[in-house]
Chains A and B, each alone.
Chain A
Amino acid sequence: MIFLDNLINGLSLGSIYAIIALGYTMVYGIAKMLNFAHGDVIMVGAYIAFCGLQYWGLPPVIAILAAMAVCTVLGVTIEGLAYRPLRQAASLAVLITAIGMSYLLQNIALMIWGANPKFFPPTFINSTTFKLGQLNISSATVITILANIVIMVGLTLFTAKTKMGKAMRCVSEDRGAAELMGINVNRTISVTFAIGSALAAIAGVLLCSSYPTLQPTTGSMPGIKAFTAAVFGGIGSIPGAMLGGVLLGVIEIFGKAYISTELGDAIVFAVLIVVLLVKPSGLLGKPVREKV
């Protein structure tokens, strides 16, 4: 029973990582950059939902939609103001800008909401507990796992079938060739940031539904873990983000339960290192081919 309990918790935590990892992986695949501020967009999303629920008296669904809207605008703005001017710059410059953006968001959150942790109010997401034999499963767990599946299927269909989705695949493969098709690369990258950031808001709400303490650094650790998950699964790959995220969550929970609570995170990163040694492009990543 404890085993099953841990497995379900792992799947739930892993689903949150997976949703965050999607943002990393899509932006990496299409804009070829690591958006280190992505984790902090999650935090902003969680705060907006928190304000909606706690201060503005919004119904939960509206609060979540508001968080998604704010994060979408935030993501697109960050991209347009901070990253777009650096499109031709060295990737190190972009990376450092992204790290700076991460600290900027954390400090803005600190100014607005202060350093004291907020308690994320309960909603329909975590209101009930299902009993399955001896298992107690929170509705947050079920909703998180379902949300992950729905998002994954939705994004897969989006990139496979829609015109914008196909444009994203083109930009991801060859930006110059995409332009020659008449694809507006900047707009495609903006849409990518919009989708990733809206998902970050959902991840923020789900995260706080299971772990309700909210503070300006709330997004950092899940952000880093999700980034790890994206690399683990093969950065740039949507199914890779799903697989990497879920596995990472499960490994983390099992590591904490059976090996050592303190070393839980270290185990996660150790597994990552082993996987990357064996398969440098990640579980589902395509081997990088040098262009001739």
Chain B
Amino acid sequence: MSETENRTPLLRVHDLHVYYGAIHAIKGISLEVYKNEIVTLIGANGAGKSTTLNTIAGLLKPRQGTVELEGTVLNGLGASRIVPKGLSLCPEGRRIFQQMTVRENLEMGSYTRPNSEIAASLEEMFQRFPRLKERERQIAGTLSGGEQQMLAMARALMSRPSILMLDEPSMGLAPILVEQIFDIITELHQAGTTILLVEQNAQMALQVADRAYVMETGHITLQGPAEDLLHNEAVQKAYLGS
């Protein structure tokens, strides 16, 4: 990763503190994501991974610290004004619009873009996710779990983000579908998408990622090339079950 060191990061989080009322959930974390990287954030349940992503996306307000996207400070903008700047979050639990059709869900993903550009993006998503094309008019709530996850990812891509954040895309999916989701992540990466990935499945995440951060109770405790962490003893003990 030596080549990334002197470039400015696409996403830069510095000394972030987030509270839920009196609960200090994120205790001063810093992280960077460079263009065309996959960076993964792993950690146990409740470590604060989702809180971190939600804060970067603007759903939560940090009490301290900064979030910068391509040099622009995003703090205090609120999620709806951050999306058009090129940052998209595919949230934990998918949160697709259950009562809308697949197509409507995708269209909502490009809410902030001019109508004239939507058709091309839709076509692109249908090519990448042929399953969604077959189910274009189906009510999203009736999709299977795997299809819902694909829809959630496609919807997040419909804003044409310069960085895509994925919060546990493999959650609750059968192993074969987990494979598929990770294949898609790899494909997106090869197509030039920058990705910040939060995963419980540390093994798979570390295999696809370039770099990784390990979170524990609101702190980042380890960071480095994904390959190194994959072979790190502490990580193996705590997250890889070996």
Contact = CB atoms under 8 A, between A and B. Distances in A.
A and B are partners in one complex rather than unrelated chains = yes
Interface string B67-82: 0000000000011110
A177 interface: yes
Contacts of B88: 180
Contact of B83 (A163, A166, A181): A181
Contacts, number: 64
B157 interface: no
A179 B59 contact: yes
Contact of A180 (B59, B98, B99, B100): B59
B159 interface: yes
Contacts of A170: 97, 100, 108
A182 B84 CA distance: 7
B41 to A, nearest CB: 18
B126 interface: no
Contact of A182 (B59, B83, B91, B107): B83
A262 interface: no
A174 B112 CA distance: 18
Given A166-B107, A180-B88, A185 B80 contact: yes
A292 B145 CA distance: 14
Contacts of A163: 111
Nearest to B113: A182
Contact of B108 (A166, A176, A184, A185): A166
Interface residues of A, number: 18
Contacts of A169: 97, 99-100
A61 B109 CA distance: 41
B93 interface: yes
Interface in B49-96: 57-59, 78-81, 83-84, 88-89, 91, 93, 95-96
Interface string A156-171: 0000000100110110
Binding site secondary structure of chain A: helix
A185 B104 CA distance: 18
Contacts of B95: 174, 176-177, 180
Contacts of A181: 80, 83, 108-109, 111-112, 155, 159
A182 B77 CA distance: 11
A174 B108 CA distance: 13
Contact of B104 (A166, A176, A182): A166
Contact of B79 (A173, A180, A292): A180
Given A166-B107, A166-B108, A180 B83 contact: yes
A183 interface: yes
15 contacts: A163-B111, A166-B104, A174-B97, A177-B91, A177-B95, A179-B59, A179-B80, A180-B83, A180-B88, A180-B89, A181-B112, A182-B79, A182-B112, A183-B80, A184-B80
Interface of B: 57-59, 78-81, 83-84, 88-89, 91, 93, 95-100, 104, 107-109, 111-112, 155-156, 159
Interface of A: 163, 166-167, 169-170, 173-174, 176-185, 292
Given A176-B59, A179-B59, 8 more contacts: A173-B98, A173-B99, A176-B91, A181-B83, A181-B111, A182-B79, A183-B80, A183-B108
Kindly list the 10 A-B residue pairs having the minimum CB-CB distance in the complex, ordered from nearest.
A182-B112, A182-B83, A179-B79, A177-B95, A181-B111, A181-B108, A182-B111, A184-B80, A179-B80, A182-B80
